[in-house]
Structures are given as structure tokens and as C-alpha cells.
Amino acid sequence: SPGAYSASPGIELVRQDVARFLQRRDGVAAKPEDIFLSTGASDAIVSILKLLVAGEGPSRTGVLIPIPQYPLYSAAIAELSAVQLNYYLDEENCWALDVTELRRALAEGRRHCCPRVLCIINPGNPTGQVQSRRCIEDVIKFAFEEKLFLMADEVYQDNIYAEGSAFHSFKKVLFEMGPPYSEVVELASFHSVSKGFMGECGFRSGYVEVVNMDPEVKQQLAKLVSVRLCPPVSGQILLDAVVDPPKPGDPSYELFISEKTAVLSALAHKARLTQEIFNKSPGIRCNPVQGAMYSFPRIELPPRALAAAKEQGQAPDMFFCMKLLEETGICVVPGSGFGQREGTFHFR
């Protein structure tokens, strides 16, 4: 019954279907026992961070996160008293991830903590970029060399719009790289029903797959997820529908594929429209929206606006967003909520 508790890691049948979905997606074997269902991807991300955070003072766990980032990461790191280590995405190069910047952040972090975790959001939130396969290979090599645990937030994997862009899962690339990487690099990858073409966020359903995790550590993860009993069962059932959609020949396939295509086509059209209109607007510059559901335009604010924001005790981009809301009814989110390079201003 959907009103009953399930097993803590999730309903076995659903975990089997998630494993089959991953196997179809990546061409790599997946095991149900490596999959933990969760209350949205957020819950799984926090669980993995809890597992990895330890130590005090200089031995405290450092977590590398992209800037701009989805604020779940900074909030969870603060809650767990871990150390946030920022690496900046390259805005001038369509928010690309540069391993040189990762090395800088890691070296800086090692002066005052013990970096153990590298978080990646691909496709990007709030930045809308899609990482190239070459970039993912470089990140995996970096994690291997520096003995970092990889957390790959891949909840927007269905949302790819730009010509020449494609989603490459970290797990698929890892196994195609082969040994020693495929045998050693520890990876947790996340997905949810909140995004993609489903967007059923209120059901709070997602999963994490762990790869190359020590069996004894995985046993501790099983204990950790048992504390919250189980994810919402109705959400688990919905997740099963997402990972096991209608197939060609099924009675509902034609309707399913037409609805899916319509939703993703509309999002792709809006992504292009957003970019085009922003880049025609004075004082706004916007990178191509390659994937996910967001653009993160940069705004140039005149000195009087900066002064007025200061007078009101607001961040300049918050001042802009409030003015935009009051004068046009358009609601956007200030870039300062996601992190940005000093002296730059954005909104999502």
C-alpha cells in the first residue's frame, strides 16, 4: 500500500527498475544494492555529505563546490560544520569548469582543512551549461590524483538544448576510461523526478547510485538512511514510472513521446528566446543556455544604482531584482544567493 512504510533504501522493485534504467543509459552494469531512493535528490545529497564529513580544525572535511552553485550545497555544508571550498566556473567560456581552477581551490583549502569531496552540477544550476566529455574526463582524473570523492548532481540530464551539447553521465565516462579510474574513483550520482520533462517536484522523489564505495562504508550509509524510515512511497512509485517509461509498441507510447517532445521543445524554445532577448537588452549579457532550466545573465549596474542599494542595505543584484518585480511584475532571483565573482552581479 502507498500508505505503508517501505524498506528504508526504497522499494526493491523500484530499485531494480532504476538499475535497469542506468544500465540502458550507460551500457554499464548497475546493481539495486548500490541504489538508495530518497526524498528528492536533495535528501540523498545531504545523506552522502553526512557520511563524508568528519574531523575537527585542520582535519575537518572540505567540500569543493562550483560558484555559482545551487544553495542546497552551501546550506548543507554549513549545517554539517564542514568547510566550503569555492571553485569558480568560467563565465567568459560559457560557465565551463577549468581543472586549473579546481587545483587552485584545492591547494587553498589544504591550508586550513582536509578536502575530501568534489561536487559537480551537470547540467548546471543556476548557470545552464552542459559539460563536455573531455571536461568530465579531466575532472575524473583530477579526483583520482587527489583522492577526492565525486558527487555528480545530474538531475537535469533530460534537459539539453544547445546544438553540439550532449549529456554524458559521470558513471558512463568513468567506466569507459577503464582501470585504474573505473576501479578506484568513488562516485555518487543523483537524479530526481523534480526536473527533466516530468517536473513532479511535490512528490519528493529521487535516488543516489554509489560506485566503488567500500562495502563497510555502504553499510553505514544503509544505517544512515534508515534513520528517516523511508522516502514517500507515492514518490517512489512515481520514480518507477520515470525510470521505466512506455516503450515503442506499448499502448501509451505515442501519447507519452508526443507529450515529452512537446515539453522539451517548449523549454528549448524558451532557452533560445531568453538568451536572444537578454543579449539585446542594454546592460545585460547572457551566455547560451545549453541545458537545465535556467539562464544566469550578468547585469551592469550604474553607480547611482549601487549607491541606492547600499543606502537600502541591499546587495546590488537584490536591489535590481526588487525593482524589476515592483515595476514589471517579473520575479527573478538575485545572483548573490548562488555566489558570484566579487564585483559582478547576476540574476537567475
Q: Which residues contact 281 (CB under 8 A, 6 or more apart)?
A: none
Which three three-digit cell numbers place residue 224?
A: 544512515
Q: Which CATH number fits domain 12-243: 3.30.1370.60, 3.30.70.1150, 3.30.70.3340, 3.40.640.10?
A: 3.40.640.10
Please tell me the predicted confidence (pLDDT) of residue 201.
Answer: 84
Q: Write out the chain's pLDDT in tens, 348 residues.
A: 888 988 888 999 999 999 999 999 999 999 999 999 998 888 999 999 999 998 888 999 999 999 998 889 999 999 999 999 999 999 988 898 999 999 999 999 999 999 999 999 999 888 888 999 999 999 999 999 999 999 999 998 888 887 888 899 999 999 999 999 999 999 999 999 987 778 788 888 899 999 999 999 999 999 998 888 889 899 999 999 999 999 999 999 999 999 999 998 898 898 889 899 999 999 999 998 888 888 999 999 999 999 999 999 999 999 999 999 999 999 999 998 898 888 899 999
Which residues make beta-bridge pairs with 191? 207
| Radius of gyration of the chain from its Cα atoms, rounded to whole angstroms | 21
Q: How far apart are CA 10 and CA 6, in angstroms?
A: 6
pTM of this prediction?
Answer: 0.90
Whole-angstrom distance, CA of residue 186 vs CA of residue 112: 24
Total residue length of the chain: 348
Residue 206: its pLDDT value, please?
92
Residue ranges per domain, the chain? 12-243, 252-337
Environment class of 311 (CB within 10 Å of its CB; exposed 0-12, middle 13-18, buried 19+): exposed
12-243 and 252-337 in the same fold:
no
| Burial of residue 160 (number of CB atoms within 10 Å: 0-12, 13-18, 19+) | middle
Class of domain 252-337: alpha beta
Report the sign of the C-alpha dihedral through residues 317, 319, 321, 323, in that order.
negative
CA distance 75 to 268: 30
Closest by CA position to 218, among listed 31, 83, 24, 42: 31
Question: Given the C-alpha cell 569531496, which residue does it identify?
Answer: 117
